[in-house]
């Protein structure tokens, strides 16, 4: 094989695959650990510290709030920094929060660590999507968006396994996640490119303006993002608590529920391929309906183990798949500034994830959590008419 052929193979296959493996690992740390693991350990925190539903909901919302702020800042400035440095920094922030929670001895310190761990994902995503647009060949871009948007799933699997084997020692589980995060950030720093984002690293092609966000074609995207954030956050925050409260699952088997969520989310890594074949409009319609079924099943049969597992499998895939479709949709709208496209997604998603747990906890004294899940199942269906008809990236 000639040197030219080796170089071509390296650019078209080896480098993109290496990039995806490393960035999926980073997404697993910042999202699978830093953003989503909290819901799994919520019953342990409730038990040890006697925390109320409102206190626990405020932690989830504050975690989302720190993520929101970091997303806004990183989206505006990602284009001026080398992506690898920002992505490694995101892992450092997440690991710091995980370690604080792991070493905590009081509820306040544990809450602070959990909240800090939410910052990393907001720093990672804008830089990551700028890197995808700038560094990867055209044929890899949609596949990469789909893959990294599902990157939290390996982290969720690891979290569930660590939690299962650590039993009630939740602090050790958080320290184990921090150790994995340190390994991932070191590998990422060693192997990812250190170059800038081409010419766009010097001057933005599309300057920021208020009008670019307020076009008619964006409205459906914004509505879908808000609904997605609410249904995603409420399920991850309260599903384990719901099924354990009803006695359908008990520790440590409730950890396997989380494992199943992560395991069934793994196929979502290939969402980019499916989206490129059928278009993100049709794709989103299918996965929103699947999400509605997952919520409806828990609303009607949260005390039945077989139905609980079916709900987890549906939500595990659909919840990640929705994010993939929405990212492709948004980045297609803001193609000149992909960090802005991803920022729009994560900004509105974060607003909804802040409100979702708080609204659920406020309503819980008056409405059973099962009824809240039923209402959110309905929301997942109502959103379908607002989705695009037949679009391809």
Highest-pLDDT range among 75-84, 217-226, 286-295, 318-327: 286-295
Distance between start and end Cα atoms, the chain: 35
Per-domain residue ranges for the chain? 3-195+211-386
pLDDT at 381: 92
pLDDT at 101: 93
What pTM did the predictor assign? 0.76
Inform me whether the pLDDT recorded for 113 exceeds 90: yes
Q: Please report, for residues 273, 275, 285, 323, the alpha-carbon distance to residue 328 in angstroms, rounded to integers and kept in the order given.
A: 12, 8, 14, 9
pLDDT at 198: 60
Please choose, from the candidates 154, 153, 169, 189, the residue with its C-alpha nearest in 3D space to the C-alpha of residue 41.
169
Q: What size, in residues, is the chain?
A: 393
Write out pLDDT tens, residues 171-184. Answer: 888 999 999 999 99
Band of pLDDT at residue 53, cut at 50, 70 and 90: confident
pLDDT at 267: 86
CATH placement of domain 3-195+211-386: 1.20.1250.20
Please choose, from the candidates 20, 34, 152, 132, the residue with its C-alpha nearest in 3D space to the C-alpha of residue 91.
34
Write out pLDDT tens, residues 330-351. Answer: 877 766 666 666 677 777 887 8
Q: What percent of the chain has pLDDT over 70?
A: 86
Write out pLDDT tens, residues 123-145. Answer: 998 888 888 888 888 888 878 87
Cα 229 to chain centroid distance, Å, stands at 10
């Amino acid at each position: 094989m000639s040197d030219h052929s080796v170089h071509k193979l390296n650019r078209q296959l080896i480098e993109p695959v290496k990039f995806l493996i490393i960035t999926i690992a980073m997404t697993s740390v910042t999202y699978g650990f830093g953003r989503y693991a909290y819901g799994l350990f919520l019953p342990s925190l409730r038990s040890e510290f006697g925390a109320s539903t409102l206190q626990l909901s405020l932690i989830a919302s504050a975690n989302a709030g720190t993520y929101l702020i970091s997303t806004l800042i990183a989206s505006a400035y990602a284009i001026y920094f080398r992506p690898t440095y920002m992505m490694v920094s995101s892992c450092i922030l997440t690991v710091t929060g995980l370690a604080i929670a792991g070493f905590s001895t009081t509820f306040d310190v544990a809450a602070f660590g959990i909240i800090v761990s939410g910052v990393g994902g907001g720093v990672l995503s804008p830089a990551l999507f700028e890197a995808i647009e700038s560094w990867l060949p055209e044929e890899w871009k949609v596949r990469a968006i789909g893959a990294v948007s599902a990157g939290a799933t390996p982290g969720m699997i690891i979290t569930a396994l660590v939690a299962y084997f650590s039993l009630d020692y939740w602090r050790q589980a958080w320290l184990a996640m921090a150790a994995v995060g340190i390994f991932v950030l070191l590998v990422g720093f060693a192997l990812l490119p250190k170059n800038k984002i081409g010419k766009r690293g010097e001057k933005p092609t599309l300057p920021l303006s208020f009008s670019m966000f307020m076009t008619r074609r964006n409205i459906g995207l914004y509505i879908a993002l808000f609904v997605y954030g609410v249904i995603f956050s409420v399920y991850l925050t309260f599903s384990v608590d719901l099924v354990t409260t009803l006695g359908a699952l008990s520790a440590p088997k409730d950890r396997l529920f989380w494992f199943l969520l992560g395991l069934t989310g793994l196929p979502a890594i290939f969402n980019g391929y499916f989206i490129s074949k059928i278009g993100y409009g049709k794709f989103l319609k299918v996965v929103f309906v699947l999400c509605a079924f997952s919520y409806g099943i828990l609303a009607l049969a949260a005390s039945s183990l077989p139905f609980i597992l079916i709900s987890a499998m549906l939500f595990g895939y659909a919840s990640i798949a929705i994010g993939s479709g929405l990212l492709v949709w948004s980045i297609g709208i803001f193609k000149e500034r992909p960090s802005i496209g991803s920022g729009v997604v994560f900004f509105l998603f974060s607003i909804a994830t802040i409100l979702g747990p708080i609204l659920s906890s406020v309503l819980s004294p008056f409405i059973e959590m099962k009824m809240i899940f039923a209402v959110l199942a309905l929301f997942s269906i109502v959103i379908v008419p607002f989705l695009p008809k037949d679009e391809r990236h």
